[in-house]
Structure 1
Protein backbone atom coordinates (compact mmCIF):
# COMPACT_ATOMS: atom_id res chain seq x y z
CA UNK A 1 0.00 0.00 0.00
CA UNK A 2 2.82 2.36 0.90
CA UNK A 3 4.47 1.62 -2.38
CA UNK A 4 1.35 2.49 -4.38
CA UNK A 5 1.03 5.85 -2.56
CA UNK A 6 4.64 6.92 -3.07
CA UNK A 7 5.87 9.40 -5.67
CA UNK A 8 7.90 7.52 -8.29
CA UNK A 9 11.51 8.67 -8.39
CA UNK A 10 12.52 10.59 -11.52
CA UNK A 11 16.10 11.20 -10.38
CA UNK A 12 18.74 9.54 -8.24
CA UNK A 13 21.23 11.25 -5.96
CA UNK A 14 24.82 10.01 -6.10
CA UNK A 15 26.86 10.32 -2.92
CA UNK A 16 30.19 10.42 -4.74
CA UNK A 17 33.37 10.39 -2.65
CA UNK A 18 33.36 13.40 -0.36
CA UNK A 19 31.73 16.74 0.38
CA UNK A 20 35.01 18.48 1.19
CA UNK A 21 35.63 21.15 -1.53
CA UNK A 22 39.43 20.85 -1.47
CA UNK A 23 39.33 17.07 -1.77
CA UNK A 24 36.79 17.36 -4.58
CA UNK A 25 39.13 19.62 -6.57
CA UNK A 26 42.03 17.20 -6.06
CA UNK A 27 39.93 14.21 -7.12
CA UNK A 28 38.56 16.12 -10.11
CA UNK A 29 42.05 16.91 -11.41
CA UNK A 30 43.27 13.37 -10.73
CA UNK A 31 40.35 11.70 -12.52
CA UNK A 32 40.46 14.22 -15.38
CA UNK A 33 44.12 13.40 -15.99
CA UNK A 34 43.31 9.68 -15.80
CA UNK A 35 40.50 10.03 -18.33
CA UNK A 36 42.68 12.02 -20.75
CA UNK A 37 45.36 9.32 -20.55
CA UNK A 38 42.64 6.69 -21.11
CA UNK A 39 41.39 8.43 -24.26
CA UNK A 40 44.86 8.97 -25.71
CA UNK A 41 46.06 5.48 -24.80
CA UNK A 42 43.12 3.55 -26.20
CA UNK A 43 42.65 5.69 -29.31
CA UNK A 44 46.39 5.46 -29.89
CA UNK A 45 46.29 1.67 -29.52
CA UNK A 46 43.45 1.34 -32.05
CA UNK A 47 45.16 3.72 -34.52
CA UNK A 48 48.53 1.96 -34.17
CA UNK A 49 47.04 -1.49 -34.76
CA UNK A 50 45.11 -0.27 -37.77
CA UNK A 51 48.12 1.51 -39.31
CA UNK A 52 50.70 -1.25 -38.69
CA UNK A 53 50.48 -4.32 -40.98
CA UNK A 54 52.76 -6.32 -38.65
CA UNK A 55 50.09 -6.00 -35.95
CA UNK A 56 47.30 -7.44 -38.12
CA UNK A 57 47.27 -10.69 -36.16
CA UNK A 58 44.61 -12.33 -33.96
CA UNK A 59 46.21 -11.13 -30.73
CA UNK A 60 46.13 -7.47 -31.80
CA UNK A 61 42.70 -7.83 -33.36
CA UNK A 62 41.43 -8.74 -29.89
CA UNK A 63 43.53 -5.97 -28.34
CA UNK A 64 42.04 -3.37 -30.68
CA UNK A 65 38.54 -4.41 -29.63
CA UNK A 66 39.61 -4.37 -25.97
CA UNK A 67 40.83 -0.78 -26.40
CA UNK A 68 37.47 0.18 -27.94
CA UNK A 69 35.56 -1.46 -25.07
CA UNK A 70 37.77 0.21 -22.45
CA UNK A 71 37.22 3.60 -24.09
CA UNK A 72 33.43 3.12 -24.15
CA UNK A 73 33.12 1.77 -20.60
CA UNK A 74 35.25 4.59 -19.21
CA UNK A 75 33.33 7.23 -21.17
CA UNK A 76 29.97 6.12 -19.80
CA UNK A 77 31.25 6.60 -16.23
CA UNK A 78 34.05 9.18 -15.96
CA UNK A 79 32.59 12.33 -17.65
CA UNK A 80 29.47 12.13 -15.46
CA UNK A 81 31.63 11.62 -12.39
CA UNK A 82 33.75 14.66 -13.31
CA UNK A 83 30.67 16.84 -13.76
CA UNK A 84 29.40 15.74 -10.34
CA UNK A 85 32.51 17.21 -8.72
CA UNK A 86 31.45 20.62 -10.08
CA UNK A 87 27.68 20.50 -9.66
CA UNK A 88 24.81 18.64 -8.01
CA UNK A 89 25.43 14.90 -7.77
CA UNK A 90 22.32 13.58 -9.49
CA UNK A 91 21.27 11.53 -12.51
CA UNK A 92 17.82 11.16 -14.14
CA UNK A 93 16.09 7.78 -13.94
CA UNK A 94 16.43 7.20 -17.71
CA UNK A 95 20.11 8.19 -17.59
CA UNK A 96 20.69 5.80 -14.72
CA UNK A 97 19.12 2.88 -16.61
CA UNK A 98 21.14 3.78 -19.70
CA UNK A 99 24.33 3.81 -17.62
CA UNK A 100 23.49 0.38 -16.19
CA UNK A 101 22.84 -1.04 -19.66
CA UNK A 102 25.93 0.38 -21.40
CA UNK A 103 28.33 -0.32 -18.56
CA UNK A 104 27.11 -3.91 -18.11
CA UNK A 105 27.25 -4.45 -21.87
CA UNK A 106 30.88 -3.39 -22.19
CA UNK A 107 31.91 -4.81 -18.82
CA UNK A 108 30.84 -8.34 -19.73
CA UNK A 109 32.18 -7.91 -23.27
CA UNK A 110 35.59 -7.16 -21.75
CA UNK A 111 35.38 -10.32 -19.63
CA UNK A 112 34.97 -12.45 -22.73
CA UNK A 113 37.50 -10.53 -24.83
CA UNK A 114 40.09 -11.18 -22.13
CA UNK A 115 39.06 -14.86 -22.17
CA UNK A 116 39.43 -14.98 -25.97
CA UNK A 117 42.88 -13.39 -25.69
CA UNK A 118 43.87 -16.07 -23.17
CA UNK A 119 42.64 -18.77 -25.57
CA UNK A 120 44.63 -17.14 -28.38
CA UNK A 121 47.82 -17.31 -26.28
CA UNK A 122 47.05 -20.94 -25.42
CA UNK A 123 46.78 -21.92 -29.08
CA UNK A 124 49.89 -19.90 -30.00
CA UNK A 125 52.06 -21.52 -27.31
CA UNK A 126 50.58 -25.00 -26.90
CA UNK A 127 49.41 -25.71 -30.48
CA UNK A 128 51.58 -23.52 -32.73
CA UNK A 129 51.33 -25.79 -35.78
CA UNK A 130 47.55 -25.37 -36.07
CA UNK A 131 47.48 -21.75 -34.90
CA UNK A 132 46.79 -20.20 -38.36
CA UNK A 133 43.94 -22.67 -38.90
CA UNK A 134 42.35 -22.40 -35.44
CA UNK A 135 42.69 -18.62 -35.13
CA UNK A 136 41.62 -17.82 -38.68
CA UNK A 137 40.19 -14.35 -39.46
CA UNK A 138 36.69 -15.82 -39.62
CA UNK A 139 37.09 -17.53 -36.24
CA UNK A 140 38.47 -14.36 -34.62
CA UNK A 141 35.57 -12.33 -36.00
CA UNK A 142 33.07 -14.85 -34.62
CA UNK A 143 34.75 -14.85 -31.20
CA UNK A 144 34.64 -11.05 -31.02
CA UNK A 145 31.01 -10.87 -32.19
CA UNK A 146 30.14 -13.57 -29.65
CA UNK A 147 31.77 -11.50 -26.88
CA UNK A 148 29.66 -8.47 -27.81
CA UNK A 149 26.50 -10.58 -27.98
CA UNK A 150 27.15 -11.98 -24.48
CA UNK A 151 27.71 -8.42 -23.26
CA UNK A 152 24.48 -7.30 -24.93
CA UNK A 153 22.56 -10.16 -23.32
CA UNK A 154 23.97 -9.28 -19.92
CA UNK A 155 23.22 -5.58 -20.32
CA UNK A 156 19.63 -6.19 -21.40
CA UNK A 157 18.99 -8.71 -18.63
CA UNK A 158 20.35 -6.48 -15.89
CA UNK A 159 18.53 -3.40 -17.19
CA UNK A 160 15.21 -5.25 -17.39
CA UNK A 161 15.73 -6.43 -13.81
CA UNK A 162 16.47 -2.88 -12.64
CA UNK A 163 13.55 -1.33 -14.54
CA UNK A 164 11.11 -3.64 -12.74
CA UNK A 165 12.10 -2.18 -9.38
CA UNK A 166 10.19 0.70 -7.78
CA UNK A 167 11.92 3.76 -6.34
CA UNK A 168 10.08 6.34 -4.28
CA UNK A 169 10.94 9.96 -3.59
CA UNK A 170 14.59 11.01 -3.42
CA UNK A 171 16.50 7.74 -3.85
CA UNK A 172 20.17 7.86 -2.91
CA UNK A 173 22.82 5.65 -4.56
CA UNK A 174 25.88 5.31 -2.34
CA UNK A 175 28.35 5.32 -5.24
CA UNK A 176 29.59 7.64 -7.99
CA UNK A 177 27.64 5.92 -10.79
CA UNK A 178 24.58 3.72 -11.30
CA UNK A 179 25.76 0.21 -10.53
CA UNK A 180 23.44 -2.71 -9.91
CA UNK A 181 24.26 -3.64 -6.33
CA UNK A 182 23.92 -0.16 -4.73
CA UNK A 183 20.93 0.55 -6.98
CA UNK A 184 19.01 -2.39 -5.52
CA UNK A 185 19.37 -1.10 -1.95
CA UNK A 186 17.05 1.99 -2.15
CA UNK A 187 14.34 0.06 -4.00
CA UNK A 188 10.96 -0.07 -2.28
CA UNK A 189 9.81 -3.21 -4.11
CA UNK A 190 10.78 -6.86 -3.82
CA UNK A 191 14.34 -7.05 -5.16
CA UNK A 192 14.71 -10.83 -5.02
CA UNK A 193 14.59 -11.19 -8.82
CA UNK A 194 17.23 -8.48 -9.29
CA UNK A 195 19.53 -10.16 -6.77
CA UNK A 196 19.07 -13.47 -8.57
CA UNK A 197 19.82 -11.86 -11.96
CA UNK A 198 22.91 -10.15 -10.57
CA UNK A 199 24.34 -13.28 -8.97
CA UNK A 200 23.37 -15.53 -11.88
CA UNK A 201 24.93 -13.22 -14.44
CA UNK A 202 28.11 -12.76 -12.40
CA UNK A 203 28.37 -16.49 -11.79
CA UNK A 204 27.37 -17.75 -15.24
CA UNK A 205 29.14 -15.22 -17.46
CA UNK A 206 31.92 -13.95 -15.20
CA UNK A 207 32.99 -17.29 -13.77
CA UNK A 208 32.72 -19.10 -17.13
CA UNK A 209 34.97 -16.54 -18.83
CA UNK A 210 37.43 -16.66 -15.94
CA UNK A 211 37.51 -20.46 -16.22
CA UNK A 212 38.57 -20.11 -19.86
CA UNK A 213 41.39 -17.84 -18.69
CA UNK A 214 42.36 -20.19 -15.85
CA UNK A 215 42.38 -23.37 -17.95
CA UNK A 216 44.27 -21.61 -20.75
CA UNK A 217 47.00 -20.37 -18.42
CA UNK A 218 47.33 -23.70 -16.62
CA UNK A 219 48.04 -25.27 -20.02
CA UNK A 220 50.35 -22.37 -20.98
CA UNK A 221 52.38 -22.56 -17.76
CA UNK A 222 52.63 -26.34 -18.09
CA UNK A 223 53.90 -25.94 -21.66
CA UNK A 224 56.39 -23.23 -20.65
CA UNK A 225 57.80 -25.35 -17.81
CA UNK A 226 58.42 -28.20 -20.24
CA UNK A 227 60.70 -25.97 -22.37
CA UNK A 228 64.30 -26.94 -21.69
CA UNK A 229 66.11 -23.65 -22.33
CA UNK A 230 65.77 -20.65 -20.01
CA UNK A 231 65.72 -18.31 -23.01
CA UNK A 232 62.81 -20.22 -24.52
CA UNK A 233 60.87 -20.03 -21.26
CA UNK A 234 61.39 -16.27 -21.01
CA UNK A 235 60.35 -15.74 -24.62
CA UNK A 236 57.21 -17.84 -24.22
CA UNK A 237 56.23 -16.17 -20.97
CA UNK A 238 56.81 -12.66 -22.36
CA UNK A 239 54.14 -13.25 -25.01
CA UNK A 240 51.42 -13.54 -22.36
CA UNK A 241 52.80 -11.52 -19.42
CA UNK A 242 50.98 -8.32 -20.43
CA UNK A 243 47.67 -10.10 -20.82
CA UNK A 244 48.07 -11.91 -17.51
CA UNK A 245 48.68 -8.58 -15.77
CA UNK A 246 45.56 -7.00 -17.31
CA UNK A 247 43.45 -10.07 -16.47
CA UNK A 248 44.58 -10.08 -12.83
CA UNK A 249 43.61 -6.42 -12.32
CA UNK A 250 40.25 -6.66 -14.08
CA UNK A 251 39.01 -9.97 -12.66
CA UNK A 252 40.39 -9.29 -9.19
CA UNK A 253 38.50 -6.02 -8.71
CA UNK A 254 35.36 -7.26 -10.50
CA UNK A 255 35.03 -10.39 -8.37
CA UNK A 256 35.66 -8.32 -5.25
CA UNK A 257 32.69 -6.11 -6.16
CA UNK A 258 30.16 -8.62 -7.45
CA UNK A 259 30.82 -12.00 -5.83
CA UNK A 260 31.74 -11.07 -2.26
CA UNK A 261 29.15 -11.10 0.55
CA UNK A 262 27.77 -7.60 1.02
CA UNK A 263 28.80 -7.52 4.68
CA UNK A 264 32.49 -8.22 4.03
CA UNK A 265 33.60 -4.62 3.39
CA UNK A 266 32.53 -1.02 3.83
CA UNK A 267 30.94 1.05 1.10
CA UNK A 268 34.07 3.24 0.98
CA UNK A 269 36.15 0.18 0.09
CA UNK A 270 33.60 -0.70 -2.59
CA UNK A 271 33.89 2.80 -4.08
CA UNK A 272 37.65 2.60 -4.47
CA UNK A 273 37.42 -0.94 -5.82
CA UNK A 274 34.91 0.41 -8.37
CA UNK A 275 37.39 3.15 -9.29
CA UNK A 276 39.96 0.47 -10.11
CA UNK A 277 37.86 -1.34 -12.69
CA UNK A 278 35.87 1.62 -14.07
CA UNK A 279 38.56 4.30 -14.24
CA UNK A 280 42.03 2.90 -13.63
CA UNK A 281 41.90 -0.38 -15.58
CA UNK A 282 40.83 1.24 -18.90
CA UNK A 283 43.80 3.59 -18.51
CA UNK A 284 46.29 0.85 -17.57
CA UNK A 285 45.48 -1.65 -20.33
CA UNK A 286 47.04 0.29 -23.24
CA UNK A 287 50.04 1.19 -21.04
CA UNK A 288 50.52 -2.44 -20.01
CA UNK A 289 50.34 -3.73 -23.58
CA UNK A 290 52.58 -1.00 -25.02
CA UNK A 291 55.27 -0.73 -22.35
CA UNK A 292 55.68 -4.50 -21.96
CA UNK A 293 55.26 -5.49 -25.61
CA UNK A 294 58.21 -5.43 -27.99
CA UNK A 295 56.01 -5.78 -31.10
CA UNK A 296 53.92 -2.73 -30.18
CA UNK A 297 57.01 -0.63 -29.42
CA UNK A 298 58.64 -1.75 -32.68
CA UNK A 299 55.47 -0.93 -34.66
CA UNK A 300 55.34 2.52 -33.04
CA UNK A 301 59.03 3.07 -33.87
CA UNK A 302 58.49 2.13 -37.52
CA UNK A 303 55.39 4.27 -37.83
CA UNK A 304 57.23 7.25 -36.30
CA UNK A 305 60.10 6.83 -38.78
CA UNK A 306 57.66 6.73 -41.69
CA UNK A 307 55.91 9.89 -40.50
CA UNK A 308 59.21 11.72 -39.95
CA UNK A 309 60.57 10.70 -43.36
CA UNK A 310 57.35 11.79 -45.10
CA UNK A 311 57.45 15.24 -43.49
CA UNK A 312 61.17 15.85 -44.15
Structure 2
Protein backbone atom coordinates (compact mmCIF):
# COMPACT_ATOMS: atom_id res chain seq x y z
CA UNK A 1 0.00 0.00 0.00
CA UNK A 2 1.43 3.37 -1.07
CA UNK A 3 1.65 6.57 0.96
CA UNK A 4 -1.48 8.04 -0.66
CA UNK A 5 -3.44 4.87 0.15
CA UNK A 6 -2.27 5.01 3.77
CA UNK A 7 -3.25 8.68 4.14
CA UNK A 8 -6.55 7.96 2.44
CA UNK A 9 -7.20 5.13 4.89
CA UNK A 10 -6.45 7.36 7.87
CA UNK A 11 -8.75 10.07 6.53
CA UNK A 12 -11.53 7.52 6.10
CA UNK A 13 -11.20 6.50 9.78
CA UNK A 14 -11.21 10.16 10.84
CA UNK A 15 -14.30 10.96 8.76
CA UNK A 16 -16.09 7.84 10.03
CA UNK A 17 -15.34 8.84 13.65
CA UNK A 18 -16.59 12.40 13.06
CA UNK A 19 -19.79 11.06 11.47
CA UNK A 20 -20.26 8.57 14.35
CA UNK A 21 -19.92 11.27 17.03
CA UNK A 22 -22.19 13.63 15.09
CA UNK A 23 -24.80 10.88 14.95
CA UNK A 24 -24.49 10.52 18.74
CA UNK A 25 -25.10 14.23 19.26
CA UNK A 26 -21.47 15.12 20.08
CA UNK A 27 -20.55 18.63 18.90
CA UNK A 28 -17.26 19.60 17.29
CA UNK A 29 -16.23 21.26 20.58
CA UNK A 30 -16.80 18.02 22.55
CA UNK A 31 -14.74 15.99 20.05
CA UNK A 32 -11.65 17.25 21.89
CA UNK A 33 -12.76 15.42 25.05
CA UNK A 34 -13.26 12.21 23.06
CA UNK A 35 -9.77 12.57 21.51
CA UNK A 36 -8.24 13.03 25.02
CA UNK A 37 -10.13 9.97 26.26
CA UNK A 38 -8.80 7.88 23.35
CA UNK A 39 -5.24 9.10 23.98
CA UNK A 40 -5.54 7.96 27.61
CA UNK A 41 -6.20 4.47 26.20
CA UNK A 42 -3.26 4.72 23.74
CA UNK A 43 -5.63 5.06 20.81
CA UNK A 44 -5.71 7.52 17.91
CA UNK A 45 -8.77 9.37 16.61
CA UNK A 46 -7.34 9.14 13.06
CA UNK A 47 -6.34 5.47 13.17
CA UNK A 48 -8.80 3.67 15.46
CA UNK A 49 -12.51 3.30 14.79
CA UNK A 50 -14.78 4.39 17.67
CA UNK A 51 -17.00 1.45 18.60
CA UNK A 52 -20.29 1.60 20.50
CA UNK A 53 -18.57 -0.06 23.51
CA UNK A 54 -15.77 2.54 23.48
CA UNK A 55 -18.29 5.38 23.26
CA UNK A 56 -20.31 3.98 26.21
CA UNK A 57 -17.11 3.80 28.24
CA UNK A 58 -16.36 7.45 27.36
CA UNK A 59 -19.84 8.56 28.51
CA UNK A 60 -19.48 6.74 31.85
CA UNK A 61 -16.07 8.30 32.50
CA UNK A 62 -17.41 11.73 31.53
CA UNK A 63 -20.31 11.35 33.98
CA UNK A 64 -17.92 10.33 36.77
CA UNK A 65 -15.68 13.36 36.10
CA UNK A 66 -18.64 15.76 36.02
CA UNK A 67 -20.01 14.36 39.28
CA UNK A 68 -16.61 14.73 40.91
CA UNK A 69 -16.27 18.29 39.65
CA UNK A 70 -19.70 19.31 40.99
CA UNK A 71 -19.45 17.22 44.16
CA UNK A 72 -19.65 20.19 46.55
CA UNK A 73 -20.94 22.99 44.31
CA UNK A 74 -24.59 22.89 45.47
CA UNK A 75 -23.59 22.48 49.13
CA UNK A 76 -21.14 25.37 48.85
CA UNK A 77 -23.82 27.68 47.43
CA UNK A 78 -26.01 26.84 50.46
CA UNK A 79 -23.10 27.57 52.83
CA UNK A 80 -22.49 30.94 51.17
CA UNK A 81 -26.19 31.78 51.41
CA UNK A 82 -26.20 30.95 55.14
CA UNK A 83 -23.44 33.55 55.62
CA UNK A 84 -25.34 36.23 53.72
CA UNK A 85 -23.38 35.74 50.48
CA UNK A 86 -25.63 35.49 47.42
CA UNK A 87 -25.16 33.91 44.01
CA UNK A 88 -23.36 37.01 42.71
CA UNK A 89 -20.77 36.63 45.51
CA UNK A 90 -20.10 33.03 44.47
CA UNK A 91 -18.00 34.22 41.52
CA UNK A 92 -15.73 36.28 43.80
CA UNK A 93 -15.53 33.43 46.30
CA UNK A 94 -14.69 30.97 43.52
CA UNK A 95 -11.79 33.24 42.45
CA UNK A 96 -10.69 33.49 46.09
CA UNK A 97 -10.59 29.68 46.32
CA UNK A 98 -8.71 29.35 43.01
CA UNK A 99 -6.04 31.69 44.39
CA UNK A 100 -5.61 29.16 47.20
CA UNK A 101 -5.46 26.22 44.73
CA UNK A 102 -8.97 25.13 45.77
CA UNK A 103 -12.14 24.63 43.74
CA UNK A 104 -15.70 25.61 44.63
CA UNK A 105 -16.82 22.42 42.84
CA UNK A 106 -14.38 19.98 44.47
CA UNK A 107 -13.64 21.41 47.93
CA UNK A 108 -16.14 21.99 50.72
CA UNK A 109 -16.14 25.56 52.09
CA UNK A 110 -15.11 25.69 55.75
CA UNK A 111 -15.86 28.31 58.40
CA UNK A 112 -12.20 29.36 58.34
CA UNK A 113 -12.39 30.01 54.59
CA UNK A 114 -15.50 32.18 55.04
CA UNK A 115 -13.82 34.26 57.79
CA UNK A 116 -10.66 34.68 55.70
CA UNK A 117 -12.69 35.68 52.61
CA UNK A 118 -14.72 38.28 54.55
CA UNK A 119 -11.52 39.78 56.02
CA UNK A 120 -9.98 39.99 52.56
CA UNK A 121 -13.16 41.53 51.19
CA UNK A 122 -13.09 44.17 53.93
CA UNK A 123 -9.41 44.86 53.22
CA UNK A 124 -10.12 45.16 49.48
CA UNK A 125 -12.97 47.57 50.26
CA UNK A 126 -10.66 49.78 52.37
CA UNK A 127 -8.03 49.76 49.63
CA UNK A 128 -10.70 50.71 47.08
CA UNK A 129 -11.89 53.58 49.31
CA UNK A 130 -8.30 54.77 49.78
CA UNK A 131 -7.77 54.69 46.01
CA UNK A 132 -11.01 56.61 45.53
CA UNK A 133 -9.92 59.21 48.11
CA UNK A 134 -6.49 59.43 46.49
CA UNK A 135 -8.06 60.09 43.07
CA UNK A 136 -10.32 62.74 44.61
CA UNK A 137 -7.33 64.44 46.24
CA UNK A 138 -5.42 64.33 42.94
CA UNK A 139 -8.44 65.87 41.22
CA UNK A 140 -8.58 68.66 43.82
CA UNK A 141 -4.83 69.31 43.44
CA UNK A 142 -5.24 69.57 39.66
CA UNK A 143 -8.15 71.95 40.16
CA UNK A 144 -6.07 74.10 42.53
CA UNK A 145 -3.22 74.14 40.02
CA UNK A 146 -5.70 75.18 37.33
CA UNK A 147 -6.98 78.01 39.54
CA UNK A 148 -3.42 79.24 40.13
CA UNK A 149 -2.65 79.01 36.39
CA UNK A 150 -5.82 80.88 35.47
CA UNK A 151 -5.51 83.34 38.36
CA UNK A 152 -9.03 82.44 39.50
CA UNK A 153 -9.92 81.33 43.00
CA UNK A 154 -12.79 81.44 45.44
CA UNK A 155 -15.45 80.88 42.78
CA UNK A 156 -18.70 79.07 43.60
CA UNK A 157 -18.80 76.78 40.55
CA UNK A 158 -17.35 76.40 37.07
CA UNK A 159 -19.09 75.97 33.74
CA UNK A 160 -18.64 76.08 29.96
CA UNK A 161 -20.45 78.67 27.83
CA UNK A 162 -20.69 79.48 24.14
CA UNK A 163 -19.68 83.04 23.32
CA UNK A 164 -19.94 84.95 20.07
CA UNK A 165 -16.46 86.34 19.54
CA UNK A 166 -14.80 88.20 16.69
CA UNK A 167 -11.39 86.89 15.55
CA UNK A 168 -8.88 88.70 13.38
CA UNK A 169 -8.82 85.90 10.81
CA UNK A 170 -12.06 84.06 11.49
CA UNK A 171 -14.46 86.98 11.94
CA UNK A 172 -17.61 86.38 14.00
CA UNK A 173 -17.82 82.83 15.37
CA UNK A 174 -19.13 80.88 18.35
CA UNK A 175 -16.37 79.92 20.78
CA UNK A 176 -16.57 77.66 23.83
CA UNK A 177 -14.96 79.22 26.91
CA UNK A 178 -14.45 78.15 30.53
CA UNK A 179 -16.46 80.16 33.04
CA UNK A 180 -15.82 80.57 36.77
CA UNK A 181 -18.97 81.78 38.50
CA UNK A 182 -19.19 84.00 41.58
CA UNK A 183 -22.70 84.13 43.09
CA UNK A 184 -23.04 87.58 44.70
CA UNK A 185 -26.03 89.04 46.60
CA UNK A 186 -27.19 91.13 43.64
CA UNK A 187 -25.44 89.71 40.59
CA UNK A 188 -23.69 86.74 38.95
CA UNK A 189 -20.10 87.35 37.85
CA UNK A 190 -18.59 84.91 35.31
CA UNK A 191 -14.84 85.16 34.83
CA UNK A 192 -14.13 83.86 31.32
CA UNK A 193 -11.01 81.99 30.29
CA UNK A 194 -10.09 80.56 26.87
CA UNK A 195 -10.16 76.76 26.72
CA UNK A 196 -7.06 76.43 24.54
CA UNK A 197 -4.62 79.14 25.62
CA UNK A 198 -6.32 79.77 29.02
CA UNK A 199 -6.23 83.52 28.37
CA UNK A 200 -8.30 86.01 30.38
CA UNK A 201 -11.36 86.90 28.28
CA UNK A 202 -12.87 89.34 30.77
CA UNK A 203 -15.95 89.14 32.99
CA UNK A 204 -19.64 88.66 32.18
CA UNK A 205 -21.77 90.39 34.82
CA UNK A 206 -25.47 89.50 35.04
CA UNK A 207 -27.45 91.64 37.56
CA UNK A 208 -30.26 89.67 39.18
CA UNK A 209 -32.59 92.59 38.40
CA UNK A 210 -32.14 91.76 34.69
CA UNK A 211 -32.99 88.06 35.11
CA UNK A 212 -36.56 86.97 34.37
CA UNK A 213 -36.12 83.17 34.69
CA UNK A 214 -33.55 80.49 35.57
CA UNK A 215 -34.14 76.94 34.25
CA UNK A 216 -32.19 73.74 34.92
CA UNK A 217 -32.06 71.05 32.23
CA UNK A 218 -30.84 67.71 33.55
CA UNK A 219 -28.88 65.25 31.41
CA UNK A 220 -31.09 62.73 29.61
CA UNK A 221 -31.15 60.25 26.74
CA UNK A 222 -30.76 62.94 24.07
CA UNK A 223 -28.72 65.35 26.19
CA UNK A 224 -25.33 64.21 27.49
CA UNK A 225 -24.68 67.05 29.96
CA UNK A 226 -26.91 69.07 32.25
CA UNK A 227 -27.09 72.83 31.70
CA UNK A 228 -28.56 75.99 33.16
CA UNK A 229 -30.50 78.54 31.09
CA UNK A 230 -30.66 82.16 32.30
CA UNK A 231 -33.34 84.25 30.56
CA UNK A 232 -32.65 87.97 30.87
CA UNK A 233 -34.62 91.12 30.00
CA UNK A 234 -35.58 91.07 26.32
CA UNK A 235 -35.72 87.24 26.33
CA UNK A 236 -31.98 86.88 25.76
CA UNK A 237 -30.75 83.49 26.91
CA UNK A 238 -27.38 82.56 28.42
CA UNK A 239 -26.61 78.82 28.54
CA UNK A 240 -24.13 77.54 31.15
CA UNK A 241 -23.10 73.94 30.38
CA UNK A 242 -21.77 71.19 32.69
CA UNK A 243 -23.76 72.50 35.65
CA UNK A 244 -24.93 70.32 38.55
CA UNK A 245 -28.31 70.69 40.25
CA UNK A 246 -26.49 71.90 43.39
CA UNK A 247 -25.00 74.84 41.43
CA UNK A 248 -28.43 75.65 39.99
CA UNK A 249 -29.96 75.74 43.48
CA UNK A 250 -27.16 78.02 44.71
CA UNK A 251 -27.78 80.60 41.96
CA UNK A 252 -31.57 80.26 41.95
CA UNK A 253 -31.80 80.80 45.73
CA UNK A 254 -29.60 83.92 45.51
CA UNK A 255 -31.82 85.29 42.71
CA UNK A 256 -35.06 84.53 44.64
CA UNK A 257 -33.66 86.13 47.82
CA UNK A 258 -32.74 89.27 45.84
CA UNK A 259 -36.26 89.49 44.37
CA UNK A 260 -37.84 88.90 47.77
CA UNK A 261 -35.87 91.77 49.38
CA UNK A 262 -36.54 94.03 46.39
CA UNK A 263 -40.29 93.40 46.71
CA UNK A 264 -40.12 94.19 50.43
CA UNK A 265 -38.37 97.51 49.73
CA UNK A 266 -40.97 98.43 47.11
CA UNK A 267 -43.87 97.59 49.43
CA UNK A 268 -46.28 100.52 50.26
CA UNK A 269 -46.14 99.46 53.92
CA UNK A 270 -42.39 100.03 53.81
CA UNK A 271 -42.95 103.59 52.57
CA UNK A 272 -45.50 104.24 55.36
CA UNK A 273 -43.08 102.98 58.00
CA UNK A 274 -40.31 105.22 56.58
CA UNK A 275 -42.60 108.27 56.68
CA UNK A 276 -43.59 107.59 60.30
CA UNK A 277 -39.93 107.13 61.25
CA UNK A 278 -39.03 110.44 59.53
CA UNK A 279 -41.77 112.31 61.47
CA UNK A 280 -40.35 110.95 64.73
CA UNK A 281 -36.87 112.20 63.85
CA UNK A 282 -38.31 115.58 62.81
CA UNK A 283 -39.98 115.80 66.22
CA UNK A 284 -36.64 115.16 67.90
CA UNK A 285 -35.06 117.90 65.75
CA UNK A 286 -37.69 120.47 66.78
CA UNK A 287 -37.19 119.57 70.42
CA UNK A 288 -33.45 120.11 70.02
CA UNK A 289 -32.60 116.52 70.95
CA UNK A 290 -30.73 115.89 67.66
CA UNK A 291 -28.75 118.19 65.38
CA UNK A 292 -29.81 119.18 61.83
CA UNK A 293 -26.87 117.12 60.52
CA UNK A 294 -28.11 113.99 62.31
CA UNK A 295 -31.62 114.57 60.98
CA UNK A 296 -30.37 114.97 57.39
CA UNK A 297 -28.28 111.81 57.68
CA UNK A 298 -31.27 109.79 58.89
CA UNK A 299 -33.44 111.33 56.20
CA UNK A 300 -31.07 110.12 53.49
CA UNK A 301 -31.14 106.60 54.97
CA UNK A 302 -34.94 106.44 55.03
CA UNK A 303 -35.70 108.01 51.64
TM interval, short-chain normalised: under 0.3
TM-score by length of 1: 0.21
Which structure has the highest helix share of the two?
1
In terms of fraction of residues, the more strand-rich structure is 2
Relative contact order: is structure 1 or structure 2 higher (C-alpha 8 Å, sep ≥ 6)? 1
